[in-house]
Structure 1
């Protein structure tokens, strides 16, 4: 006999998500993912100037801000010229802005949104010997330099929160659950110390958006043709900018090396059972994160993996992307390519046998596809053309005792996010910041070009698209607009975003979406505290505001 578990809302995510599971014999046998709030950015964009779309699409989310803006800009640029090229200065600035978003976003996810799925806060308070905590801290990462007094202070701060009655984000955890006992009290206290450190460092990292983008969220320095920054700097201004960018990128790299990657390694080592839980079969990466040259060489390569065949990465054909709405609250029942897609809401009530979500159901080549860090890392590893990723994956597997097939799991997904964060943070510090500074250093160059002029096509109907990667995975924007008469207006705008791929419902063939598939087989020890379900759901880093744009 089976029973149902409904978690509504899922907390520690962005947006509104409901997950219902059917449990029999102590494990999930079926799952349904429901986005519960419609937003309608795509209809809002109709009849607006395509040159303004990037400012509006940034408002899809307060987290994935920059990446929606730049993807919109690139879609319009591609409508002007499929080979549209921005100045090198703009390319590098765009890379730094994007890299900062990825690194900051992944740190926030691991510590603020996902860590408490693995760490029991109340267990941290039972750590008694602070010298033993220091020893355990050094075992996780030998580069850490924290003493007993430091950890005593962290414990006292946690105790003050616990006794205050004002627990905030710590109020809704399943504390005391037997699934938390894999970590000792000492390690739990260490992880909570790192939780607090992450709150500080994420604010520092995203200051890069204030320097190069004007503010965060929703940077303002982008535009079609490049960036709006004035790059005419005297020597003192150049030195000040270089010093700040260098310091911030170094702090980001150092935190990832000293805390994030070691902590992710420790979690993966402590929870080996999650190497066989929460996996999907198909992975999709649109490629991107950064353009490494004006020729368009991408930091992460594009590719698709089917049936976990990591060594057989397939090329991606944009024409094979479709969105199903048979089980979603939209008009129509035909799966459409986004270039001709429609977003016409029609709510009919939640019915798991019919329509039950505001998310559409994207498919590639007719298949549900997981997108995100795991897809990026496994596609790069499978192609073997990104040596740094190959090395990082190999090192992580060796340090945890995992095998490559273990990556197709809840813990593998979490590991991939940490692996790519190191790759991006290293690139920002060692390459991109120095590249930009060498380009605008008044002693080395007089290149101040940050943008090029452009003219929108004059034909009656124009169209463009761009496939990119957001922190949570594959992102595509499609725009069509009328350009006659000097008054360009958007006719149709469609976005297929990462959490739509991951959290979309069943399609017209009744095939479940990725997270619905990933939850099947998950053991549930206590149906009143379905911690195991949350671990897998959170490992995808849901951004449901994006998903129901």
Structure 2
């Protein structure tokens, strides 16, 4: 390829040193990344690959649409329930089913609980190690760490020197035992890590606190959904009865006891995000505020479908609490409406994906989507089909399709939602963003970066925790007023359905815009297509050569050490990639789990 200019404004050059990271870990699913470095170790070309085929669309054909949620929910083992919510909305849209207000509030509480939970887990357990060096925490002065904690967040109760000394001792024993666990494969001597020991110790401490707290957050979804990580859902509402004076033994999982427990967890979420998560991101950001790589297409093309309907059955942008719209060509103040039913707006292409279309020069709207796998390596690829050494980006190279909105590759996720909301004049979002940037001493342009993407996720976690309390209040008030309905089963029987219908359901998953499209014929699923957030962000190139958010975000990034490319991981992890969601990279102690090749 040598040097190539893409239509969406990037210059690629694959003649330099090739660095391969396979697999990219600390994400959900399987991913491979290849980049080319110039003589100054700056990334000039990037190739992002989804290395596992999902296949749920094929499995769903011919099945009962009322059961689709149970299958699609298994797409992901991290974003619990969000695919199920999208699926029941798709079926309800197709069949014209309206849900009760209580069901809307409960669905929103579960979805907002997921947002908080997923963002916390992402930062502390999947992404923080790109910024934080846990081994360096052993050098910290616990007294100085305590002083730092009290300066960063004086409201956090766990801040004494003794507390941090105990954590440091625990960490030291862990390191000396030779069982570093999640810290094992880190590049801990890399100069790309910028935090002083005290900040590292504070962050590692909160890593452990968040690990304990996440077990409590998931109980909210257990109460309303019966279990987690894959709670129960229902076309027409939610599958849980309400009896305000009853108890679980009487078959009423939603009662005052359980609602008071949800209140307790909701309050804890608000406090933890406000006093730990957001302050940590700002504190770490202050040390990295000159490292503003990773913007990619964020300042050019962003999209959000919107979510969290205030009133049931109204999915108009005005009723959605999460922002809706699309920004293209860098015109931030020009926000376009997104219509998921319009075949001219959303199409998926496959010229560089391991799928086959009858005519690969054209994209397909998801209602007409085809999921036919076709795995083959390009003529310039190196290695074999089962042991790839280097991919041919001029051919097919990913199991991810290439979705486009009016021909544009888009970034989706918390950053997209927050930029769109900010430009729409959403005061709640503007106050959060302005406050964060002021604390960091950075201009608005800094949001278009890896650091900005990470900050937007933290701010959204705070927003979601507070909105969770709003819908809990709404639910309790509605029930006290005598409304205990949680499901509408008037159209649950297939005998009431038209012979042939189609629908679309959408949500804003933690990672971004998510939608499912369904065609129902004769009471069975004729076609089902999911376009998930990582399909948008991790897209390979399209027919025109446009690159997507993952690939674009890596360009022009300086890598300190080619053999330890923490900068690649830092930026990719900021998207919280979710590629397959049913298998994970695991191995016994001592087994090599990741390999970096430099040629």
| TM value normalised by structure 1 | 0.94
Aligned length: 533
The answer as to 2:156 corresponding to 1:117 is no
Distance 1:354 1:315 in 2: 33
Provide the residue aligned with 2:348 in structure 1.
323
Provide the residue aligned with 1:292 in structure 2.
310
Greater shift in the superposed pair: 409-418 or 272-281: 272-281
Provide the residue aligned with 2:202 in structure 1.
190
Say whether the 8 Å CA contact 1:286–1:303 is kept in structure 2: yes
Distance 1:148 1:52 in 2: 54
Say whether the 8 Å CA contact 1:287–1:469 is kept in structure 2: yes
Q: 2:531 aligns with which of 491, 496, 506?
A: 496
Change (3 A) 1:283 1:546: farther
Q: 2:277 aligns with which of 254, 260, 264?
A: 260
The answer as to 2:220 corresponding to 1:232 is no
CA apart distance, 1:351: 3.0
CA apart distance, 1:152: 0.6
Say whether the 8 Å CA contact 1:191–1:263 is kept in structure 2: yes
Say whether the 8 Å CA contact 1:308–1:408 is kept in structure 2: no
SS at 2:285 equivalent:
helix
CA apart distance, 1:232: 2.1
1:48-85 CA deviation, whole Å, 9 max, x = no partner? 0111101110011111231100111001101112xx43
1:121-169 CA deviation, whole Å, 9 max, x = no partner? 1111111x22111111111112123211100111011111111111111
Say whether the 8 Å CA contact 1:500–1:547 is kept in structure 2: no
CA apart distance, 1:236: 7.0
Gapped regions of structure 1 (runs ≥ 5): none
SS at 1:216 equivalent:
coil
CA apart distance, 1:276: 4.2
Distance 2:67 2:514 in 1: 19
SS at 1:345 equivalent:
coil
Provide the residue aligned with 1:61 in structure 2.
76
Distance 2:219 2:277 in 1: 19
CA apart distance, 1:34: 0.6
Greater shift in the superposed pair: 302-311 or 261-270: 302-311
Provide the residue aligned with 1:29 in structure 2.
44
Distance 1:276 1:167 in 2: 29
Provide the residue aligned with 1:466 in structure 2.
505
SS at 1:344 equivalent:
coil
Match runs of 1:52-201 below 5 Å: 52-81=67-96, 84-127=97-140, 129-145=141-157, 146-180=159-193, 182-201=194-213
Distance 1:214 1:335 in 2: 40
Say whether the 8 Å CA contact 1:497–1:546 is kept in structure 2: no
Match runs of 1:371-390 below 5 Å: 371-384=412-425, 386-390=426-430
CA apart distance, 1:546: 5.4
Distance 1:305 1:206 in 2: 34
SS at 2:504 equivalent:
strand
Change (3 A) 1:276 1:31: closer
Q: 1:272 aligns with which of 279, 289, 298?
A: 289
- Please provide the CA RMSD for this pair: 1.6
Hey, which of these two has a bigger chunk of helix by percent? 1
Distance 2:339 2:473 in 1: 35
Say whether the 8 Å CA contact 2:244–2:256 is kept in structure 1: no
Provide the residue aligned with 1:437 in structure 2.
476
The answer as to 2:336 corresponding to 1:314 is yes
The answer as to 2:453 corresponding to 1:413 is yes
Provide the residue aligned with 1:336 in structure 2.
364
Say whether the 8 Å CA contact 1:329–1:347 is kept in structure 2: yes
SS at 1:468 equivalent:
strand
Say whether the 8 Å CA contact 1:45–1:490 is kept in structure 2: yes
The answer as to 2:387 corresponding to 1:370 is no
Change (3 A) 1:478 1:372: same
Provide the residue aligned with 2:547 in structure 1.
512
SS at 2:188 equivalent:
coil
Gapped regions of structure 2 (runs ≥ 5): 1-14, 249-254, 378-390, 584-599
Provide the residue aligned with 2:252 in structure 1.
none
CA apart distance, 1:512: 1.2
Q: 2:376 aligns with which of 334, 337, 348?
A: 348
Change (3 A) 1:546 1:311: farther
CA apart distance, 1:394: 1.2
Provide the residue aligned with 2:465 in structure 1.
425
SS at 2:473 equivalent:
helix
Say whether the 8 Å CA contact 2:95–2:497 is kept in structure 1: no
The answer as to 2:67 corresponding to 1:46 is no
Say whether the 8 Å CA contact 1:276–1:406 is kept in structure 2: no
CA apart distance, 1:308: 3.3
The answer as to 2:439 corresponding to 1:399 is yes
Distance 2:216 2:582 in 1: 28
1:14-52 CA deviation, whole Å, 9 max, x = no partner? 100000000102200000001111130000000001111
The answer as to 2:521 corresponding to 1:482 is yes
SS at 2:94 equivalent:
helix
CA apart distance, 1:242: 2.4
Provide the residue aligned with 2:3 in structure 1.
none
Say whether the 8 Å CA contact 1:279–1:410 is kept in structure 2: no
| TM value normalised by structure 2 | 0.87
Greater shift in the superposed pair: 264-273 or 467-476: 264-273
Distance 2:326 2:519 in 1: 27
Greater shift in the superposed pair: 459-468 or 12-21: 459-468
CA apart distance, 1:420: 0.8
Q: 2:221 aligns with which of 197, 209, 223?
A: 209
1:355-397 CA deviation, whole Å, 9 max, x = no partner? 111000111110110000001111111111x321111111111
CA apart distance, 1:300: 0.9
Greater shift in the superposed pair: 95-104 or 161-170: 161-170
Q: 1:545 aligns with which of 575, 580, 587?
A: 580
Say whether the 8 Å CA contact 1:324–1:335 is kept in structure 2: yes
